[in-house]
Amino acid sequence: MNVQELVERLKAQELASLEAVELEAQAAEQEVDEEDIPREERVEIASSLDLAFDGRLGSFQTVPLAVGVDASAWTSAVLVLLVHRTDGMADGSELRVSVQSIVLDPMEPSEIFQSARVAQAIWTRDAKPPGLETSPLTPPWGDQLQVTLEYSQGLIAESAFPELATISVYLIGRLGAPFRGR
């Protein structure tokens, strides 16, 4: 191999290494771009869920909607209740969606250890659908959450027809520290 060939080969290697360095720099810029980092997490608990209630005067019916929602990465969060429609809600009827902080113990899988409510959204007969109710989660909450639906029949002692509602429920959690801009 003569000197000229050696020089040509070194130039080709140098160009290849420069291209590799440029590609690595571009990849690093893309990985660090803060606009690509998610700032929130939306957990769909129920979507257009049709409900029918037939309770009695002063009674509450409680239904768990979600158990063990992972909230460990959230710094703040909000409960969102969308009421698409209601039909036949009596005077004093009330629809509540509540969030409790819970712990699921692997040693006792049938038990749910729960604390007080950290959020609650309430829909009454007086409100007309479609509508929206929100409630921020009050800290502190644990790593896991439970979402329940409670319904109070209101002032009807007995009804020939059930009270109907269609709802959607979401938890929206803010991830990490708040974004402060560049």
> Phi first, then psi: what are they for 134, rounded to 5°?
-130, 155
Q: Is the pLDDT of residue 176 over 70?
A: yes
Instruction: Say what the alpha-carbon torsion angle 32, 44, 60, 54 is, to the nearest 10 degrees.
Output: 170
DSSP string, 132-146: EEEEEPPSP--SEEE
What superfamily does domain 38-175 belong to in CATH? icosahedral virus (2.60.120.660)
Least confident segment among 69-73, 86-90, 120-124: 86-90
What local confidence, expressed as pLDDT, does residue 39 receive? 82
Could you read off the pLDDT of 16-55 as tens digits, one per residue? 555 655 666 665 555 555 665 668 899 999 999 999 887 6
What local confidence, expressed as pLDDT, does residue 46 receive? 95
CB 97 within 8 A of CB 169: yes
Quote the pTM value: 0.72
When computed from its CA atoms, the radius of gyration of the chain, rounded to whole angstroms, is 27
Please give the average per-residue pLDDT across 165-177, as a whole number: 89
Paired tokens of 148: 């329940």
> Phi first, then psi: what are they for 3, rounded to 5°?
-65, -40
Can you give the residue ranges of every domain in the chain? 3-35, 38-175
- As a whole number of angstroms, the distance between CA 162 and CA 50 comes to 12
Only one residue has tokens 């007086």, namely: 126
Q: Is the pLDDT of residue 182 over 60?
A: no
